[in-house]
Structure 1
Amino acid sequence: MAETPDIRRIPFADARGEARTLADYAGGPVLVVNVASRCGLTPQYEQLEQLQRTYGGRGLTVLGFPCNQFMGQEPGSIEEILDYCATTWGVSFPIHDKVKVNGPHAHPLYKALKKTKDEHGLAGPVAWNFEKFLVAPDGSVTRFRPPTKPDDPAVVAAIEAALA
């Protein structure tokens, strides 16, 4: 777990282009995920939505950040992405404006998140679509790589701990 005290104050744009920060989401934990509509991991949307439904009432907010950096698997406009997420997966959690997660033009939020080490002690670039970062109310961050499903016991345990 890494601690980045100011991470909850880094601005980013929601789907309408309005400025937001992680702190805007009820002061509870947030699960930040770079998402894509044409990826083999796209079915994780269903599990992310289930986490939102299960823990949203206790303060968790799942936040989707579309990203087209991995083999062009999120090519659509924000309107197309929102429609796809709602109609295909029943997504009710917030989907934000498209971002870059790696490289020199990575969004500042992701620049901060990538400093967090995963369960193997590795920080650095986002590996692929659906990398998950759980940001607790105190600013501590827990990182889960893309193959770790949102309903994995380690993710659920981290969410439960962040809600305690």
Structure 2
Amino acid sequence: MEKTLHSFTVKAADGSDVPLDKYKGQAVLVVNVASKCGFTPQYAGLEELYEKFKDQGFTVLGFPCNQFGAQEPGSDSDIQQFCSLTYNVKFPVMAKIDVNGDNADPLYKWMKESAPGFLGTEMIKWNFTKFLIGKDGKILKRYPPQEEPKNLTEDIKAAIK
């Protein structure tokens, strides 16, 4: 059977399992995030997208990662507190993971293989790389870190139709 987003289970910040099949029928934006990155202010834009479209079958899933310039050094609880207090984030921010290398989370291994980046490279180059997933769990598009969340509005509207 072909893998989709719904094939995976990830860890919530509290360590509990989150089966991603709970997002069947929703468009999902998966983003590797960090608290001390030049792109960190994108949390505000991601939250805006979430608030705007969450009642139309859309969510954002954040995956903290410390593999880029050690820009996510905190514990899972530190990260949750930062997201809540600094950006009032309400979308789910999961447990910290690796997105590259031997210990890369299986979800990220699948996404990188399914939607390679610029010039076919699979590696995640930096924090705030974004993957838009359709309601069927298949990847629709990969966006580079510098792509502002607000620029994804039209693609999200198409994905939730």
TM-score in terms of structure 2 length: 0.93
Q: Which amino acid aligns with 1:156?
A: T
1:47-58 aligned at under 5 Å gives the runs 47-58=45-56
- Which residue, out of 134, 137, 141, partners 2:132? 134
1:2-81 aligned at under 5 Å gives the runs 5-25=3-23, 27-81=25-79
Q: Gaps (5+ residues) in structure 2?
A: none
Q: Secondary structure at the match of 1:151?
A: helix
Q: Where in structure 1 do 4 or more consecutive aligned residues deviate above 6 Å?
A: none
1:74, CA displacement in angstroms?
A: 0.1
CA distance in 1, matches of 2:26, 2:121: 24
1:120-159 aligned at under 5 Å gives the runs 120=118, 122-141=120-139, 142-152=141-151, 155-159=152-156
User: Whose helix fraction is larger, Structure 1's or Structure 2's?
Assistant: 2
1:140, CA displacement in angstroms?
A: 2.1
Q: Gaps (5+ residues) in structure 1?
A: none
Question: Percent identity of the aligned residues?
Answer: 43
Instruction: Give the RMSD, CA atoms, in angstroms.
Output: 1.4
1:5, CA displacement in angstroms?
A: 3.6
TM-score in terms of structure 1 length: 0.91
Partner of 2:158: 161
1:123, CA displacement in angstroms?
A: 4.0
